[in-house]
Amino acid sequence: MTPLSQRKQQILRALVEEYIYTVTPVASETLVRKYRLSFSSATVRHELAGLEEAGLIYQPHTSAGRVPTDLGYRYFVEHLMQESTLSLDEQRLIRHQFYQVQDQLDQWVRLTASVMARLLHSAAVMTPPRSTQGQLKHFEILSVTELSAHLVLVLMDGSVKQQRLLLEAPYHQEELSAVAAHLNELFQNKSAAEVDKMLQQQDLSPVEHLVGSTIAHILEQHGDPLGDVFYREGVVNILEQPEYSRMGPEEERNERVRKVMEVLEQNRFLPALASQLRQSDGVQVIIGGENEWDEMKDVSMVVARYGQEGGIGGLLGVVGPTRMQYSRAIAVVRYMTQVMNELLAEVYGY
């Protein structure tokens, strides 16, 4: 888009900050009085008309003030927003909380989501750390009935996977244990592609081929960096925001609530992130209609990957209304990414 003049930038910055704070359409008189602008209300109104023509703000009603659009928030985040950091007291408190759960990996994930939700009074989401390429460490086959068994896999990143096997012929535990011993030697430290390759090269029995194919499928699914499991905290925080508790007719509010709950309860945001979140671009901001899901057009996400690129890691971030405190959210997500990177480096030695 065409670069904005310094005056337009100053007005847009003030308008976005005021709307984030008040959740009320912003009038020109408010901007002049509260932000001590060095030009008149008439000049501000003229510049607001230009910002509206550029698609950065809009007027919900003829007599109302202006509200930022998704494009306006985007311009604010990229050009006008002042960077912020967590205070030293906040950093010390967070470090102390993680010190108390030291080596408990699952607690790190829950604590990270809880800290983000509390600091931002928003919803926080996080996927547990996992390898971007599933690799087998060890597996066991446990007999359930003569024609069914339970497959238990331990992966190199510590993940445990389980799968039921339907057998084509009766097998006793001793026979299944022998199959497991043979295939563990072949498949240890192997990825899905490597297991598939060995299935084609090795002369295996039907039951060994069934077990090997199942293992390859589980490893392939595990290789999805976003995974199929995520933690969420603070969902109620979103519902307490004015957009969902008091703004607009009740029917519209209920519809906004329904959509945001679908996003958070049904993992609907994960496919959107898979296509939009690049591997090594640090913290990313996805605003409202920028994502592909209609249910998410009223929310923004501030997200980042944590862990080692190409190694063990995951995703963390916050979800809130498009009127969120972006500078604060970016600072929190960036710091929690740093904390998780350090913890994983200690555990996995990278």
Cα–Cα distance between 330 and 122 in angstroms, integer?
Answer: 13
- Domain covering 136-222, topology: Enolase-like; domain 1 (3.30.390)
The alpha carbon of 38 is separated from its chain's Cα centroid by a whole number of angstroms, namely 41
Give the per-residue pLDDT at 260. 78
In the chain, list all ranges with CATH 1.10.10.10: 6-80
Give the per-residue pLDDT at 279. 53
Nearest to 185 by CA among 135, 134, 131, 137: 137
In the chain, list all ranges with CATH 3.30.390.60: 136-222
Give the per-residue pLDDT at 106. 74
CATH superfamily of 88-131+226-348: GAF domain (3.30.450.40)
Give the per-residue pLDDT at 35. 92
Nearest to 339 by CA among 22, 97, 9: 97
Rg of the chain (C-alpha set): 26
Cα–Cα distance between 302 and 308 in angstroms, integer?
Answer: 19
Name the E strands within 167-250. 231-233
As a whole number of Å, the end-to-end CA separation of the chain is 42
Non-local (6+) Cβ contacts of 318 within 8 A are 116, 117, 120, 122, 123, 124, 125, 301, 302, 303, 324, 329, 332, 333
Tens-digit pLDDT string for the chain (350 aa): 678 999 999 999 999 999 999 999 999 999 999 998 888 999 999 999 999 999 999 998 877 799 999 999 999 999 999 989 999 999 999 999 988 887 677 788 889 999 999 999 999 988 888 776 788 999 999 999 989 999 999 988 777 889 999 999 999 999 999 999 999 999 998 989 999 999 999 999 999 999 999 999 988 877 555 555 678 888 888 888 887 777 778 888 788 788 778 777 766 566 556 556 655 568 999 998 887 677 778 889 899 988 877 677 888 999 888 999 999 999 999 999 999 999 888 877 75
In the chain, list all ranges with CATH 3.30.450.40: 88-131+226-348
Cα→Cα distances 295→33, 104, 120, 247, Å: 37, 35, 22, 18
Cα–Cα distance between 160 and 143 in angstroms, integer?
Answer: 18
Task: Calculate the CA dihedral of residues 258, 263, 266, 267 and round it to 10 degrees.
Answer: -170
Give the class (CATH, top level) of 6-80: mainly alpha
Check if the beta carbon of residue 127 is closer than 8 Å to that of residue 227.
Answer: yes
